[in-house]
Structure 1
Amino acid sequence: MRLFIFFLLISRAVIAQNAYPKDYFQAPLDIPIQLSGNFGELRSNHFHAGFDFRTLQKEGLEVHAAADGYVSRIKISPFGNGKAIYINHPNGFTTVYCHLQTATGAIADYIKKAQYKEQSFEVEMFPKANELVVKKGQLIALSGNSGSSGGPHLHFEFRDTKTEKIINPMFFGLDKKINDTKKPIISALYVYPLDGATVNKSKRPLLLNVNLQKDGTYLASKVLSNGKIGFGITADDYNNNSSNRNGVYKVQSYLNGKAVFGYQFDTYSFDEMRYINALIDYSRYKKSYQRVQKLFMNTPFNLSIIKTDADNGIVKVSPNINLVYRIEVADFFGNTTIINIPIGFDSSSPVVEQEANNSNYFVKAKTDNIFSKNNMTVTFPAGTFYDNFAMDFAVNGNVLTLHDDSVPVHSSFEIAIESDQYSADQKNKVYIADLSSNGRLGYNSTTVKGNVYSAKVRSLGKYTLGIDTTPPVISIARSIEGRWLSNEKTIQLSISDSGSGIKSYNGYLNGTWILFEYDYKTRKITHYFDDTLVAEGANDLKVIVTDQVGNSTTFEAHFFRSQK
């Protein structure tokens, strides 16, 4: 049986790899590949969708088209992927290039034309197949640090053009450019007592000790239980090309030689991304920032990469039966780390009891739930949560408490708060705010009908009504008033808002809209004089910044510039 499962898993991997061309695409950068992030890596609320290529800790490296095709989509945003270019290829795949500093050539011209047409830095375009044709190796952009990037790098993806599923870039020949002889590292192994069971006299999850054996495998301390249990691991992978910690490719567990739970990162859809919060021990992550990958499911969820037995990876421990649980963690190159865990039955009374739970409301994950108290109502549609749980729900004065953020939320739910304390003029400045532990208010898009304010949100915690009557702040490091700027390449302003946050920013030069690029990480907007809209001699600049509830601030300056 073990041999059959082994060949089945090997066949799956071989079929997957043979489905993709190995020599069709080139790497998008000219430098040797060093990964700062790999495919499937565990990230906040999502699995990583591609490769993050190091760019020598700087911006401005040449980015090349991986193969012939045409630019099918361009998205420019201060957030997320930042400046991104998508190229469709005739063999049915799409490559994606993100966090760019700037596009080049005809692509750059196409973007700027659209931005001036829409009078917006943020644009999304879908060029036709004959508009922006590119050849393999053609320069399409310069690497950067735009969007939510934490440092200069190039994020690079492969997608199936028809289904838009993302695919592991290793399948397209990039594995040939990475040297990897290092085994993954399992840094933590946990056992979870389920449904009232006891593990090693504890009703709480336990960290197990492991010891290296002569054959290179690891042996865990024996697990003694009297019911249902599950296991979880913290695992990372490394390669020879860089010192970065990356995600593992494949996890598979066996019970007495039978495959019971596993997954490998070949391909998946964007709709599945948020299931990472069901796969990991989310509560532990929120408390300690440790991502423990669970090898069982209390309640099944629709993550397509998971293959499991009828018990969803849960181990049932019975009297007079000894079990061996084995975990194998591998990278794409087959380097594998193995842990064996002996399991036996023990009916001893627990020494460590479950944590006390004083929550006063019970939430059923698969049905609609509505809770009301005083002037506040919360509506959870079916599927908002992954598992049933006891929730702390309370209203104290003007603060709504919805448990805490240790329980993951899969989809949005609605909060409604009724209040008559605001005048008609104030109502459009009021919003439902999430309340952080330090008292800071976070804006949520809010609608008002009569005296009822409502918002869709996607996390548990504390909420209240906030009001923002303070306009944004615009500043400049060095005044340009009355100055000659003939040698300057840009005008740069800092913008910020202490209330609901920035919604829009618009600049006008001599009464005509001009492009300002926004970097939310530095809170700066920048206009480049290469737009050629500046007049010879005197110029009048006006910048208007507006927050989410309509408060606005205007910056004006008069400067001079010579084009000669």
Structure 2
Amino acid sequence: MRVLLFFILISFSLFSQERYPKDYFQSPLDIPLQLSGTYGELRNNHFHSGMDFRTNRQEGLNVFAVADGYVSRIKISTFGYGKAIYVTHPNGFTTVYAHLLKAAPEIEKYIKAKHYELKSFEIDVFPKPDELPVVKGKLLAFSGNTGGSGGPHLHFEFRDTKTEFTINPLLFGYNQFLKDTRPPVLLGILAYPLDENGIVNYSQEPVEVNLVQQKDGSYLASKVLSSGAIGFGVHTHDVSDGSYGKNGVYKIQSTLNGKPSFGVQFDTFSFDETRHINHYIDYKRYKKTTQRYQKLFVKNPYELSLIQNNPTTGIIDVQPNMNYSYKIIIEDFNKNKTTVTIPIQHAVMQPKILKKESKSIYKIKHKNEHSYIKDSVSVYIPEMTFYEDTTVDFEVSDGMVQFGTSDIALRSNLTLFIEVKGIPEKELSNYFIATVEGTKKSYIKSYLKEKTFKVYTRNLGKFALVKDTTQPKVTPVQLQEGQWISASKTLQFLISDEGSGIQSYNGYLNDKWILFEYDYKTKKVTHDFSDNVVKEGRNDLKVIVVDNVGNSTIFETHFFRSQKP
């Protein structure tokens, strides 16, 4: 058996070397690489699909093509990746460069033409293979802070060109650019009772495990007393030399009495899987504490290929007269390890901390579909919408709907309907369904049919039907009507909406559409005069902003400008 396992591991290693070439791709930056985010890192509602490289806290650094190929996709969006360029390479892989400031001149010229052709800042275009070829080591773009970026950096990722599965860049040899001699950091271990008979250290609720660090850097836990089915979760992050970031780890494995129990390894995954992060972690604890405990067990199978298919899937059935040794190995890509040994002993005990039982009559069987109706509100839940059986609260009171709580993760959308009563038909277009958190009400795309509003949502909690008659705000930045602005390089406006949020904005210079780039973080739109739409002398400007329910603001002014040196 050991010989067979040895040959399997050797074959996998050789396959990986052949599948993911180590010396084909170069660095995308010409500065020493430092990580601010690792592949597979645990993020809000998703696993991080690439690596984030620091750019010295500044924008405008040169970004290079890491190999020959062609620009196969350009996506410019207000949120998410911001300005992103995709390069397809002849060996079956595609690289992605995101949060860019702008592209290299020839590519930027193509992008600008597409903006004006489509009359939109947000574009998603797919150049043909012969339109924008790129050469390894040549300038591709400049680093930035666009989209959902929390600060200047380069997001860089690999994808399989055919399947579009994301791939860990370290598999392509990028660890050679990053010094890492430091092991992952262990922050905590939780023990979970997993069935009706499960008790851990006199508790029917998850409990922290006491840990003592040993001289060799490993950890030894205090003995865990248990009965019934139990599992463990780990709170951890990785660190590397010369970096202060708290990044994701590469691999976690557990063993029970020396035999494999559970394993997760961040090599490759599809975007269809990424939302499963909310079930992979202890989502209830995360929503309460912001700590992401990775659960090292699976009660009900779900489609996350990052988890290795172990026979027991991490669940430990603690039997009388048995002692167990449970071990967790946390590892980074350079094989720096942190280990934890947890002795487990069966014990007969009365729980001192009892499981919190729900009094709700609304019981969800996750394998079944459900429909619930209360007053003017109905909810439809397709089968397998929930990850596991649970109970939810369903209350309708004073215009507020409570269905479940925000700490319950969903696999897919359920549908919420609110029937309208007592609202004049001509006013219905001003309403939408919002999620409610405290005093904050957030727009959800709402559909109206026969006086019933409908939304699809993967979030539980409070909802309300909200009226929005407030127009968006449009405020010029350092521009007065009739002003000469020959020295200015740009036009800028602040745009905002206090109700349903901005749906669209457009600018027109002398009745011609002009490109305004939108940065939602600063609420600022910017037009660059280098687009050469501006005329000599007087220019008439119109800015139109529309919110998500159709309220609009039209701002009109004029200015003077000379193009002469």
Is this contact kept in 2: 1:178–1:241, CA < 8 A? Answer: no
Partner-residue secondary structure (3-state), 1:238: coil
Determine the structure 1 residue equivalent to 2:125.
Answer: 125
Alignment of 1:281-320 (within 5 A): 281-320=282-321
Aligned-partner residue type, residue 186 of structure 1: L
The alpha-carbon distance between structure 1 residues 244 and 6, as it changes in their structure 2 partners (threshold 3 A), is: farther
Cα distance in 2 for partners of 1:3, 1:296 equals: 28
Is contact 1:222–1:341 with CA below 8 Å preserved after alignment? yes
Distance 1:189 1:128, change over 3 A: same
Residue in 1 aligned with 2:478?
478
Look up the SS of the partner of 2:244 in the other structure. Answer: strand
The residue correspondences of 1:274-353 to structure 2 (distance < 5 A) are 274-353=275-354
Q: How many residues align?
A: 563
1:157-192 deviations in whole A, cap 9, x for unaligned?
A: 011101111111011121111111111111101100
Q: 1:6: Cα distance to partner?
A: 7.8
Match of 1:53 in 2: 53
Q: CA deviation at 1:323?
A: 0.6
Q: CA deviation at 1:380?
A: 1.2
Aligned-residue offset at 1:518: 0.5
**Structure 2 residue 410 is matched with structure 1 residue 380:** no
Partners of 1:2 and 1:390 in 2: CA distance: 46
Q: Percent of pairs identical after alignment? A: 52
Per the normalisation by structure 2, the TM-score is 0.97
Cα distance in 1 for partners of 2:344, 2:228 equals 11
> Which has the larger displacement, 62-71 or 474-483?
474-483
Match of 2:185 in 1: 185
> Where does residue 139 of structure 2 map in the other structure?
139
Match for residue 218 of structure 1? 219
Asked if 2 retains the 8 angstrom alpha-carbon contact of 1:16 and 1:266, the reply is: no
Spell out the pairing of 1:359-398 with structure 2 (5 A cutoff). 359-398=360-399
Post-superposition offset of 1:324: 0.4
Instruction: For 1:543, give the aligned amino acid.
Output: V
Question: Amino acid of the residue matched to residue 447 of structure 2?
Answer: T
Cα distance in 1 for residues equivalent to 2:305 and 2:26:
29
Answering whether residue 442 of structure 2 is matched by residue 442 of structure 1, we say: yes
Q: Which residue of 1 aligns with 2:356?
A: 355
| Aligned-partner SS, 2:190 | strand
Cα 1:210–1:11 change in 2 (3 A) is farther
Which residue is equivalent to 1:40?
A: 40
2:393 and 2:292 map into 1 onto residues whose CA distance is 24
Distance in structure 1 (CA, Å) of the matches to 2:126 and 2:207:
51
1:495 aligns with 495
Contact 1:33–1:241 (CA under 8 A) maintained in structure 2:
no
Partner of 1:268: 269
Partner amino acid for 2:280?
A: L
How far the C-alpha of 1:370 sits from its partner, in A, is 1.0
- The 3-state SS of whatever aligns with 2:176 is helix
**CA 1:122–1:418 in structure 2 vs 1: closer, same or farther (change >3 Å)?**
same
Deviation sequence 1:444-478 (CA, Å, 0-9, x none): 11111121111112200111111111110001232
Task: Assess, with a 3 A threshold, how the Cα gap between structure 1 residues 17 and 282 changes in structure 2: closer, same or farther.
Answer: farther
Following superposition, the deviation at residue 526 of structure 1 comes to 0.4
| Offset from partner CA, 1:165-222 (integer Å, 9 cap, x none) | 1111011121111111111111101100111211111111111111122443211011
The code of the aligned residue for 2:226 comes to S
Say if 1:219 and 1:339, in contact at 8 Å, map to a contact too: yes
Distance 1:185 1:32, change over 3 A: same
Change (3 A) 1:73 1:510: same
Question: Which amino acid counterpart does residue 437 of structure 1 have in structure 2?
Answer: G
Match of 1:169 in 2: 169
In the alignment, is the contact (CA less than 8 A) between 2:81 and 2:99 conserved in 1? yes
Match for 2:518: what amino acid?
Y
Distance 2:39 2:371 in 1: 39
User: 1:424 is matched with which residue?
Assistant: 425
Distance apart, 1:10 and its partner CA:
7.0
Give me the whole-angstrom Cα distance separating, in 1, the residues matched to 2:137 and 2:310. Answer: 46
CA distance in 2, matches of 1:323, 1:190: 17
Deviation at 1:4, TM superposition (A): 7.2
Specify the SS of the correspondent of 1:233.
Answer: strand
Alpha-carbon distance in 1 for matches of 2:116, 2:403: 44
RMSD of Structure 2 on Structure 1 (CA): 1.5
Contact 2:265 2:308 survives alignment (8 Å): no
State the match for 1:520 in structure 2. Answer: 520
Which whole-Å CA distance do the structure 1 matches of 2:547 and 2:237 have between them? 42
Deviation, structure 1 residue 14 = 5.5
After the TM superposition, which residues 101-120 of structure 1 pair with which residues of structure 2 at under 5 Å, given as runs? Answer: 101-120=101-120
Q: Does the alignment pair 1:549 with 2:545?
A: no
1:504 corresponds in structure 2 to 504
Q: Which residue identity does 1:36 align to in structure 2? A: S
Asked whether the equivalents of residues 365 and 382 of structure 1 are also in contact (C-alpha less than 8 Å), the reply is yes
1:70 deviation in Å?
0.4
For the pair 1:530 / 2:550, whether they are aligned, the reply is no
Pair 236,80 (structure 1): closer, same or farther in 2 beyond 3 Å: same
CA deviation vs aligned residue, 1:377-414 (integer Å, no higher than 9, x gap): 01111122111111111111321101210101221111
Q: Deviations over 1:482-531 (max 9, x none)?
A: 11111000010000001110011100001111000001111010000001
- Partner SS state of residue 183, structure 1: coil
Q: Quickly say closer, same or farther: Cα 1:12–1:282, change in 2 above 3 A.
A: farther
Provide the residue aligned with 1:561 in structure 2. Answer: 561
Q: Distance between the aligned counterparts of 1:146 and 1:306, measured in 2?
A: 33
2:316 counterpart letter in structure 1: V
1:203-242 aligned at under 5 Å gives the runs 203-242=204-243
Query: Are the equivalent residues in 1 in contact too, given 2:329–2:340 (CA < 8 A)?
Result: yes
SS, match of residue 277 in structure 2: helix
Distance 1:398 1:8 in 2: 61
Change (3 A) 1:20 1:540: same
Query: Quick one: distance in 2 between partners of 1:36 and 1:299?
Result: 33
Gaps (5+ residues) in structure 1?
Answer: none
Amino acid paired to 2:551: N
TM-score, normalised by the number of residues in structure 1: 0.97
Task: Measure, in 2, the Cα distance between the counterparts of 1:17 and 1:186.
Answer: 30
In structure 2, how many angstroms separate the alpha carbons of the residues matched to 1:435 and 1:556?
Answer: 35
